[in-house]
Amino acid sequence: MKILWFCNMIYYNLFRFEIKFGEILTYPIHVITRNKKIRTLYEKRGISDPSILVKKTLNNPDGFRSVIAGGHFYILISLLFFGILNLVLFIFNRKFTLEKEHFISLFVASIILAYFLIDYKNKSCYYFKEFDSMTSNQRKKWSWISFFIVIAIWIFGFGMFIFRYC
């Protein structure tokens, strides 16, 4: 159960990072929604403040940002699988070249594992509510832990690939 909690914590922090990064990228949209002509167009449709609507749409846990964060999480699990495989093959000094079928089967296995860790029965929504209720210091602590774990997995996945084949 702790692994499930920890994986969802990483996914939650990837989602929060995507929201923060997305605010930078969507800043021009927020500027446009402050325009008087745009506001009057939205008011005719019954929306008093379009910037709130844009923010609500972009920060929806079931929306586009969660798809990007989920994709990053799926890639992390795949990198972890490939890193472990390359480490095992290196330790046992096996001259084994990975063919296209091996990559596909490992990628499918990692997708299945990642699905059951964060998406099965919409577990992430339950954990998101739990993580949102944490104190600011706890969230900051787990954000840094998640950041270093993500960096470590990227380095491990690509590092073992480079170390084994170079």
Q: Whole domain around residue 19: which residue ranges?
A: 2-165
Confidence class for position 1, pLDDT limits 50, 70, 90: low
End-to-end C-alpha distance for the chain, whole angstroms: 38
60-64, 67-71, 136-140, range with the lowest pLDDT: 60-64
pTM equals: 0.79
Average confidence (pLDDT) over 97-105:
82
Total count of domains within the chain? 1
More confident residue, 36 or 155: 155
How many CA within 13 A on the CB side of residue 76? 23
Closest CA to 80 of 161, 159, 153, 163: 153
Q: How far is Cα 107 from Cα 123, in angstroms, rounded to an integer? A: 22
Question: Are 126 and 61 contacting, i.e. CB atoms less than 8 angstroms apart?
Answer: no
Confidence class for position 23, pLDDT limits 50, 70, 90: confident
